[in-house]
């Protein structure tokens, strides 16, 4: 057998290399429509329920992480509350394709599904932020949400997890009894507002960016929309002088949604990256809120913390039972959710410390019959 020269070997190598290169180009072409993404990236528009100061924590890290991981194949443009469409029109705008994705609770964005009442702050459904992912993963809420939004055209629900607790902050009037709530005009999430209205609070909806001015001018008497972490972060703690320690629920149900056509128009790889970035966002918020709430309740210096008398708080807890019963009558699916809440609460109570924290009988983590002024360190 004739031995090949170095030149012949080099020619054979180049030929093979050429074939490999051609094959690679062919594979790239066959990978369309995703093959040219680096030079012609997919563009999405995502709008959140939150304003920019809060959005810097609850959504911006997720968008930045996704855009970086996508390596130019896709770019999400982030818009804050009311920038493209009013917050209560988010669902319709996403369904129509005006925006590609939404981060919000079901109720605030105007979802036309029966379970939207559970979005945001459903009274006494949760105590801690970990309750939300546990309910969705182990008590059937993932399947229930997927089923509900599966009945709606061109909208896909992706994921739900926890935000902060629901605390009432007021500008001029401290809340030391339920009677003190009567007539106060308060910015809040729809479901919580509906429940708190039975004590005389008047729920008011204004654009998120207008809340601060509305409290300064007296159009609003306070907010019942968030916990201590957000109140301090966005500046509402600089305007409000009082915070009621009795939170009607421990965590907010917030979700990620996408326009179905937009979702199906991106590669499986980008879909997976997007879901991973959502999980990262859930983790970031959970740590930020959990640490912030405890620290600011104890060490915050901007607001006087008050509490309801124990007997009145017990009455609020009893009223929540009625609210749950009323909600379960909306539809069989709503009854499933309420049943999941009951099973979860029962399991946590039977599990004992550190899982037990009575949903219906525990008045508060502190003595609610007294008020506490922030320390003046």
d(CA 238, CA 232): 7
Q: Is the peptide bond before 30 cis (omega within 30 degrees of 0)?
A: no
203 forms beta bridges with 186
CATH topology of domain 42-163+252-290: D-Maltodextrin-Binding Protein; domain 2 (3.40.190)
Mean pLDDT in residue range 243-247: 95
pLDDT of residue 37: 53
> 178 versus 25: which is more confidently predicted?
178
Q: How confident is the model at residue 138 (pLDDT cuts 50, 70, 90)?
A: very high
Q: How would residue 355 be classed by pLDDT, with cut points 50, 70 and 90?
A: confident
Q: Would you call 316 helix, strand, or coil by DSSP?
A: helix
pLDDT band at 150 (very low <50, low <70, confident <90, very high): very high
Contact 318, 122 (CB under 8 A): no
User: How many angstroms separate the CA atoms of 207 and 200, rounded?
Assistant: 22
Whether pLDDT at 19 is above 90: no
Asked whether residue 297 carries a pLDDT value surpassing 90, the answer given is: yes
Residue 354: predicted pLDDT: 85
Kindly state the percentage of the chain with pLDDT values over 70: 84
| pLDDT band with cut points at 50, 70 and 90 for residue 120 | confident
The mean per-residue pLDDT over the stretch 226-247 comes to 96
For residue 101 the two structure tokens come to 């994705």
Q: Which residue has the tokens 């708190």?
A: 196
The band of 357, judged by pLDDT with boundaries at 50, 70 and 90, is low
Q: Residue 107 has what pLDDT?
A: 92
Within the chain, which residue ranges are assigned CATH 3.40.190.170?
42-163+252-290, 167-251+304-351
pLDDT at 369: 36
Residue 212 has pLDDT above 50, yes or no: yes
76-80, 150-154, 358-362: least confidently modelled range: 358-362
DSSP class of residue 120? B
Q: What is the pLDDT of residues 263-275, one digit of tens each?
A: 999 999 999 999 9
Q: What is the pLDDT of residue 7?
A: 40
- Convert the pLDDT of each residue in 282-293 to its tens digit: 999 999 999 999
Q: What pLDDT is attached to residue 25?
A: 34
Helix orientation angle between 141-150 and 332-351, rounded to the nearest 10 degrees: 170
Percentage of the chain surpassing pLDDT 90? 79
pLDDT of 28 reads 32
In contact, 114 and 191? CB cutoff 8 Å: no
Three-class SS of residue 104?
strand
Tell me the CATH number of domain 167-251+304-351, given options 3.40.190.170, 2.30.30.30, 1.10.150.240, 3.90.1280.10. Answer: 3.40.190.170
Residue located via tokens 């909806």: 205
Indicate the average pLDDT of the chain.
87
Confidence tier at 38 by pLDDT (50, 70, 90): low
Cis peptide before 151 (omega within 30 of 0): no
Of 366 and 359, the structure prediction assigns the larger pLDDT to 359
Cβ–Cβ under 8 Å, residues 165 and 227: yes
């Amino acid at each position: 057998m004739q031995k090949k020269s170095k030149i012949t070997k080099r020619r054979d190598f180049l030929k093979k290399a050429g074939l490999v290169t051609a094959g690679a180009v062919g594979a790239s072409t066959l990978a369309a429509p995703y093959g040219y993404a680096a030079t012609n990236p997919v563009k999405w528009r995502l709008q959140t329920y939150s304003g920019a100061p809060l959005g810097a924590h609850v959504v911006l890290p997720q968008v930045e992480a996704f855009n970086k991981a996508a390596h130019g194949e896709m770019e999400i443009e982030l818009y804050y509350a009311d920038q493209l469409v009013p917050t209560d029109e988010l669902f319709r705008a996403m369904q129509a394709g005006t925006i590609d994705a939404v981060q919000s609770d079901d109720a605030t964005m105007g979802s036309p599904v029966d379970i939207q009442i559970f979005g945001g702050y459903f009274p006494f459904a949760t105590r801690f932020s970990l309750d939300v992912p546990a309910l969705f993963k182990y008590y059937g809420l993932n399947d229930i949400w997927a089923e509900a939004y599966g009945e709606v055209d061109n909208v896909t629900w992706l994921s739900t997890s926890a935000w902060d607790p629901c605390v009432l902050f007021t500008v001029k009037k401290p809340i030391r009894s339920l009677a003190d709530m009567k007539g106060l005009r308060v910015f809040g999430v729809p479901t919580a507002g509906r429940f708190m209205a039975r004590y005389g609070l008047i729920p008011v909806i204004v654009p998120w960016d207008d809340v601060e001015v509305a409290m300064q001018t007296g159009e609003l008497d306070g907010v019942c929309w968030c916990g201590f972490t957000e109140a301090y972060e966005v500046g509402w703690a600089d305007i409000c002088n009082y915070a009621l320690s009795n939170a009607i629920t421990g965590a907010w149900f917030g979700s990620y949604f996408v326009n179905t056509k937009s979702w199906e128009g991106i590669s499986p790889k980008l879909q997976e990256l997007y879901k991973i970035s959502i999980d990262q966002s859930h983790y970031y918020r959970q740590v930020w809120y959990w640490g912030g709430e405890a620290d600011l309740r104890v060490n915050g210096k901007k607001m006087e913390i008050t509490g309801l008398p124990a007997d009145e708080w017990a009455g609020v807890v009893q009223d929540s039972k009625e609210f749950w019963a009323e909600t379960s009558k909306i539809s069989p699916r709503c009854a499933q959710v309420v049943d999941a809440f009951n099973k979860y609460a029962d399991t946590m109570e039977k599990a004992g410390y550190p899982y037990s924290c009575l949903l219906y009988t525990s008045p508060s983590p502190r003595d609610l019959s007294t008020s506490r002024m922030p320390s003046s360190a």
